[in-house]
Amino acid sequence: MPEILLHYIWEHCLWAGYSQQTTEGQPVEILSVGEHNRDAGPDYSHAHIRIGNKEWIGNIEIHICSSDWIKHHHHTDPAYDTVILHVVRTADKPVYNSRGELVPQCELQYPSDKDYLSGLFTAAQQMDSAAGRIGCAEQLLHDPELMSEGWRKTLLHKRLECKRESINRLLTITKGSWEHALYISLARNFGFHTNSVPFEELAINTPLSYLQKHRNSLFQLTVLLMGQAGLIGADEEDLRKEYEFLRVKFNLEPMDASIWKHARMRPQNSPELRIRQFAQLLFRSEALLSKILDRHELKELVPLFEVDKMGKSSIDILLINTVIPYKYAYALHLNETTAAEEAMQLMAQISPENNTIIRQWRVLGQQVSNAADTQALLHLYLNYCQHHDCINCEVGYKIFQDRQLKLF
């Protein structure tokens, strides 16, 4: 069996209906398969699973045999220390990360019919060769109006519903604390994709209640976060001494600094700077959740995030990925549908995002005027185009109907 087929089975949830467990016999529940990583590092990021009674959010690595973990030298690579589950067809040996910790493994259970798997292999090859393409590109080039405004609004709503589900999962972890959940979400988005997982781990490993005890001291907030991240420099003696005091006080364990990514990164996006900015935000924004919920105009929300060297585009990302989703989710929590709609409408006041996916849509003649457009188009690409779910997309269905009419 080629490894790409196992990726296809994992990503398309073809394991659904089959009981999964670790090689040690603990039940495994897959809550989210994560996002396919086509760069260096583990195969899937941001996955959400439950092993036994404990939930994990992190990375997934997939191999045919467990021994491939060692063949690929993952046991000596700190980048794989964040793997929460090693998914394999055959577990032929236990595997360990670079810290010497045993990595949980699961022999994935799925349909075993040979004809079925042969068909899947063909589909997997097609999926791999078509990765990054939009199936209806030719039709949209000739007729951009195939995508209606109504469908865009539906996609934006679906995008916010996905973010709301993520918030609800955090609320479960934080035992219903909206403030604590917001803290973790903000931390994750301060990582700006490249370091989102390490930032989330930093927030989880540094309880908000500990930071609140020192919220009146920017120095101590910075020391706690930098120390917990493992990023205090060897020459920063004052910070090191203060962190050691706080570490003992709260019985903390710092992260492995190697999980932070620095390569090909602009200085303004370095994890060290982002952590210091996050400390500034916590220092100057007491009762941040209340302020976010009480302010309804974009011009009132932006100043909350204007910390040192934080540019407009970075603030926009925080508004798009954290602030507006929390306003939306909290409004629905209170059954205030009008307030939820108003929160969603804030997206139209924010500048459009600029990334490789959005640039593809621009080439196809799609209007990209604001963040409402980009969030809708991102959801379409990630949840329909990438999975070839054209029949459930308005554009794909229109094309299908048109072809059917031409046959008669």
Helices 149-173 and 178-190: crossing angle in degrees, nearest 10, is 110
Residue 407 main-chain phi, psi, to 5 deg: -80, -15
273-313 pLDDT, tens digit per residue, is 999 999 999 999 889 999 999 999 999 999 999 999 898 99
pTM passes above 0.75: no
Burial 338-366 (b: 16+ CB within 10 A, else e): ebbeebbebbeebebbeeebbebbeebeb
Q: How confident is the model at residue 407 (pLDDT cuts 50, 70, 90)?
A: very low
CA distance 42 to 65: 15
242: its two tokens: 């203060």
**For 192-201, what is the mean pLDDT?**
90
Is-contact 192 199, C-beta < 8 A? no
236-279 pLDDT, tens digit per residue, is 999 999 999 999 999 999 999 988 987 666 677 899 999 999 99
Cα 245 → chain centroid: 33
330-359 pLDDT, tens digit per residue, is 999 999 999 999 999 999 999 999 888 898
Is-contact 40 59, C-beta < 8 A? no
90-107 pLDDT, tens digit per residue, is 999 999 999 999 999 999
378: Cβ contacts below 8 Å, ≥ 6 apart? 159, 353, 357, 358
The winner for highest mean pLDDT among 9-23, 121-135, 311-325 is: 311-325
